[in-house]
Structure 1
Amino acid sequence: MKRKVLLIYTGGTIGMEKNYETGSLQAFDFGNIFEKLPEMKLIECEVEVYPFKKPLDSSDMGPKEWKMIATHIGKEYENYDGFLILHGTDTMSYSASALSFMLKNLRKPVILTGSQLPIGDLRTDAKENLLTSLYYASLYDQDEAVIQEVAVYFEYKLLRGNRTLKYSAEFFDAYQSPNYPVLGQSGVHLNVEKDFLWRSKTDQPFTVDTHISQDVLFWRIFPGMHLNHFTEIPNMKVLVLQVFGSGTIFNTVQTKKILQALRKNGTEIVVISQCVSGGISFGKYTNSNIFREIGAISGNDITAESAITKAMHLLDNPNYEGSFAENFVKNLCGEVSEN
């Protein structure tokens, strides 16, 4: 039996081709993808295409589009065996992270991919990324999907979506998952590391929760920074604060005073590391004790993209019991290592 995959085209470089008269890149009609990429017909799955009416640069992708994608997957969940989302590369990790929180108790593959070069380019990476993503999106072991989470496939690697970050604007190997192993690799054989795959911890049915709050601010500290900027932002509900190393910040009276004032005003402070690898450890150094004293939330080894979208999803979400802090430290869908 052929598996059915819904291909959702949002835009991005992968859907571009060069106009050789002007030299500019332009979006092509993704409804004609089978003519552009006839190899798709050789894959042992049925593919249907759902394109956005207006293809978007990934810098224009945000909460509105995340909700659209999640809602459409929810609508078509029973009609397809897997889902493939074609997306621009610059914000793909944000979208993958957001979707991982929105698509609860997922039992089917949701794969995101894109490319560094347009699909019509002679040296493009788009064809391999698209074709292999289709394999992963349709990969089943008898009646059970092998991938049951939101993942990113790029340049021969399958990665957990909410663990990824884009680290190169130049190379085809553009994505990393620094704090979690690769889920699978494509070579002569299509490999999957089954021990690293996510499985829902509940037996509850699949649901879609599109709650997103935009009252979240992300700030990266730097030496010599004036923290009094924080006091100029009214009604800041969550501050995702990216600090040095394993959780250090300036050890000054002003720092403590401002952070205490934020907490007193009701702002939740989530602390994450500027380091690509590793995570937060309150108390390891004296300059991290302030966060424990004020009741800040440790982001552990979560990525910035995942921390931001997780905070947006949890803030004021009526579908969660308990406080924001209690839910943020939980490993909801594989986005953070458990202590």
Structure 2
Amino acid sequence: MNPAVTHPARNIMVLYTGGTIGMQASANGLAPASGFEQRMREQLAGQSTLASWQFQELAPLIDSANMTPLYWQRLRTAIIDAVQVHGCDAVLVLHGTDTLAYSAAAMGFQLIGLAVPVLFTGSMLPAGVADSDAWENLGGSLQALTDGVAQGVQLYFHGELLAPSRCAKVRSYGRHPFATLKRFGGAAHAEPLPAQLDYRQPKALANVTVLPLVPGIAAQLLDALIDSGIQGLILECFGSGTGPSDNPAFLASLERAQQRGIVVVALTQCHEGGVELDIYEAGSRLRQAGVLSGGGMTREAAFGKLQLLLGAGLPTQDVRRWVELDLIGELR
């Protein structure tokens, strides 16, 4: 199926994970709360332009600050079941905004080949409070799916569709918390993809972490991560992908990571641009130590991509190859 083709949805599954959109006051502040389906039905009653929808509350409901890759596995299963078991032709995920871009990016990779649209939305203020964006985002998402959205995973916020492989949460306030980052693209699109990456194939949990570089960073910190059992490391570098090239201990640690089969991917800390490891000696030394270029990938996309590639059980050399090729638009 052509991913650009849109089809109006007739039966939408709404998956509620928690998040600000349905939170209510508790003794310790706002907390996720059950009962959102009834509030949603009351709010949307009489809106005849919307497709039929059904509702499923995932357990446990969480503040998205508590999101984990394990929860992503449950979410992935719920999305697939919505299509294959409940006969839905579109899925809407209600999610807290703090890690929404991470989850949407992860599902973009985890659901490769699923021929339905999946939208993620949420709100910056709970439904029902003054000036909340909850109902406009929820109603707008349902209307967008009803009108027709291309297959694949996207974010919907304040009337805008965003590709999760290219965006991030850039504001902690207001109606426009997400933005598409201006990152370099141009990587070759990977075709055909390995069968292990198809959404029908089970995926294991992968141990991936992120290390931002700072001036004077010690090799001991990198060594501690290497010895912790990680399988993948996202190294957030300076500029176009530079690091402490005059620190032999740090470079030796990177080489040790490669020898252990740990996949190390360099990203830029900059808001715009991307990694080009061969421009400066301080970048080429990282390449010589086994570090891969993440190009213009966002942290969210790189984290989700490594979860997929490492969780699919591919040989390390194949994982290293696919990291630098475009799968879902993360390197375009």
TM-score class normalised by the smaller sequence: 0.7 to 0.9
Paired residues of 1:71 and 1:208 also in contact (CA < 8 A): no
Q: 1:290 aligns with which of 282, 285, 289?
A: 285
What amino acid sits opposite 1:219 in the alignment? L
Q: Tell me if structure 1 keeps the 8 A contact 2:113–2:199.
A: yes
2:166 pairs with 1:163? yes
- Cα distance, 1:80 vs. partner? 1.1
In structure 2, the residue matched to 1:143 is none
Shift of 1:209: 4.0
C-alpha displacement at 1:332, in angstroms? 1.2
Q: Secondary structure at the match of 1:129?
A: helix
Name the counterpart of 1:214: 206
Measure, in 2, the Cα distance between the counterparts of 1:166 and 1:40.
Answer: 33
Picking from 95, 98, 101, the partner of 1:90 is 98
Partner Cα separation in structure 2 for residue 128 and residue 232 of structure 1: 46
Alpha-carbon separation, structure 2, partners of 1:264 and 1:250: 20
Q: Determine the structure 1 residue equivalent to 2:13.
A: 6
Aligned partner of 1:25 in structure 2 is: 30
Residue among 239, 246, 259 paired with 1:245: 239
Match of 1:186 in 2: none
- d(CA) in 2 for partners of 1:174, 1:98: 19
CA shift at 1:316, angstroms? 5.2
* Residue identity opposite 1:90 in structure 2: D
Secondary structure of 1:315 counterpart: helix
Shift in alpha-carbon separation, 1:322–1:262, aligned structure 2, 3 A: closer
Q: Which amino acid aligns with 2:289?
A: I
Q: Deviations over 1:297-339 (max 9, x none)?
A: 11001110111121122115236896110121121111222xx
For the 8 Å contact 2:44–2:139, the answer to whether it is kept is no
| Contact preservation (8 Å) 1:163, 1:177 | yes
1:136–1:147 CA contact under 8 A, matched in 2 = no
Quote how far apart the aligned CAs of 1:247 are: 0.4
More contact order relative to length (CA 8 Å, sep ≥ 6): 2
Letter in 1 for 2:239: G
Query: Which of 183, 204, 221 is the aligned partner of 1:229?
Result: 221
Match of 1:190 in 2: none
- Relative distance call for 1:4 and 1:130 in structure 2 (3 A) is same
Q: Is the 8 A contact 2:183 2:274 kept in 1?
A: no
For the aligned residue pairs, the C-alpha RMSD in angstroms reads: 2.7
Q: 1:316 to 1:157 in 2, by over 3 A?
A: closer
Pair 1:124–1:210, CA change in 2 (3 A): farther
TM-score, structure 1 normalization:
0.83
Do residues 301 (structure 1) and 296 (structure 2) align?
A: yes
Secondary structure of residue in 1 paired with 2:136: helix
Q: Which runs of 5+ in 1 are unaligned?
A: 141-145, 182-197
- Alignment partner for residue 327 of structure 2, among 324, 332, 337? 332
Q: Given the superposition, is the C-alpha separation of residues 210 and 99 from structure 1 closer, same or farther in structure 2, using an over 3 Å criterion?
A: farther
SS at match of 1:161: coil
CA–CA separation in structure 1 for the residues paired with 2:159 and 2:294? 29
CA shift, 1:260, in A, is 2.1
Partner of 1:102: 110
**Structure 1 residues 335 and 269 mapped into 2: Cα distance closer, same or farther (>3 Å)?**
same
User: What per-residue deviation string (whole Å, max 9, x for no partner) do you get for residues 22-51 of structure 1?
Assistant: 795352502203444135733330011111
Closer, same or farther in 2 for the Cα pair 1:212/1:231, shift >3 Å? same
**Matching residue within 147, 153, 156 for 1:153:** 156
Q: How far apart are residue 291 of structure 1 and its match?
A: 2.1
Partner Cα distance (2:63, 2:30) in 1: 12
Instruction: Choose which of 140, 157, 175 in structure 1 pairs with 2:178.
Output: 175
Change (3 A) 1:74 1:320: farther
SS of aligned partner of 1:230: helix
Q: Pick closer, same or farther for the CA change 1:275–1:264 going to 2, 3 Å.
A: same
Q: 1:171 Cα shift? A: 2.0
Q: Deviations over 1:109-161 (max 9, x none)?
A: 10000000001112101111111111222333xxxxx3111001112221012
Percent same amino acid at aligned positions?
29
* Residue 272 of structure 1: aligned partner: 267
How many Å separate the matches in 1 of 2:46 and 2:100? Answer: 23
Q: Report the secondary structure of 1:208's partner residue.
A: coil
In the alignment, the residues of structure 2 paired with residue 201 and residue 326 of structure 1 have an alpha-carbon distance, to the nearest angstrom, of: 13
Displacement of 1:2 after TM fit?
6.9
Corresponding residue to 1:67 among 70, 73, 87: 73
How many Å separate the matches in 1 of 2:12 and 2:179? 26
Equivalenced residues, count: 312
Find 1:37's aligned residue among 39, 43, 61.
43
What is the rounded CA distance, in whole Å, between the counterparts of 1:201 and 1:176 in structure 2? 30
Q: Which residue of 2 aligns with 1:46?
A: 52
Structure 2 residue runs without a partner (length 5+): 1-7
